[in-house]
Amino acid sequence: MARPDPSAPEPTGNAPAGGLGIGEVLQLLQAEFADVTISKIRFLEAEGLVTPARTASGYRKFSAADLDRLRYVLTAQRDQYLPLKVIKEHLGAIDRGLQPAAAGPPVAPNSLPQTPGQPVAEDFGAASTELQLTRDELRAAADVPSELLDELESHGLVVASGNHYGGDAIVIAQVAAALAAYGLEPRHLRAFRTAADREVGLIEQVTGPRRTEQTGELAALTVRLHTALVRSRLPRS
């Protein structure tokens, strides 16, 4: 079904359940942005900065996320005088889990999921916004040379999904760089990838290939077991 024209008049009647009508969105925004109009909201939709859902009858249904995006756009225009092209780039970066910078390219957040001490199920939960990094963004975030990434990819330690890399790739690259200082090259780390693949295989025997409520708990238990086995085999002082 073709998407309705964003500039088309809104059907008359009350807004449908399950989202905010454009009139309700206008009222909420006007409390903070007095000069915003319905035409302005429709224009921002036409420019692709917000994409509310549509009912079969043609009603716009704005989610809480849509409202946040509109506030971001209007604030950036009012306070920073940013052109729509730049704002759209910022929104694209946010959608990939990055933080837009005042100048220069967007950056990955400083706080990435870590597993200090005993890992727990939440360490393996899906992030609300999974990072989607280009290769250059990954290299910059991990602060590692391109040659190291080449080796990590060639040994299957860092793997792109489509054209992007997830946040865990940053941690893998940083740890690999730290291990390289001890003389351990990416080719020496293939055993870790193999062990991880086997642990994932054991988890999927229980949960199946889809993520379930048990997945995180089982992953935490396998990592705890792995840590304890390594610790138990190290020489005692």
Contact yes or no for 125/219 (Cβ under 8 A) = no
123, HSE (Cβ side, Cα atoms, 13 Å): 15
Q: Do domains 22-95 and 121-233 have the same CATH topology?
A: yes
pLDDT digits (tens, 9 = 90+) for 98-135: 888 766 667 676 545 555 567 777 777 655 457 889 99
What is the number of residues in the chain?
237
CATH architecture of 22-95: Orthogonal Bundle (1.10)
Task: Give me the mean pLDDT over the 150-171 stretch.
Answer: 92
Domain residue ranges in the chain: 22-95, 121-233
Measure the CA–CA gap between 87 and 76, rounded to whole angstroms.
7
Q: Which two tokens stand for residue 8?
A: 């088309």
The fold adopted by the segment(s) 121-233 is Multidrug-efflux Transporter Regulator; Chain: A; Domain 2 (1.10.1660)
The pLDDT assigned to 149 comes to 95
Task: List Cα–Cα distances, 128 to 49, 57, 99, 163, 230, in angstroms.
Answer: 20, 31, 15, 20, 32
H or E element that contains 191? helix 190-207
pTM assigned to the model: 0.66
pLDDT digits (tens, 9 = 90+) for 69-98: 999 999 999 998 889 998 998 898 888 888
Question: Chain-wide mean pLDDT for the chain?
Answer: 85
The pLDDT assigned to 16 comes to 46
H or E element that contains 104? none
pLDDT digits (tens, 9 = 90+) for 179-214: 999 999 999 999 999 999 999 999 999 999 888 888
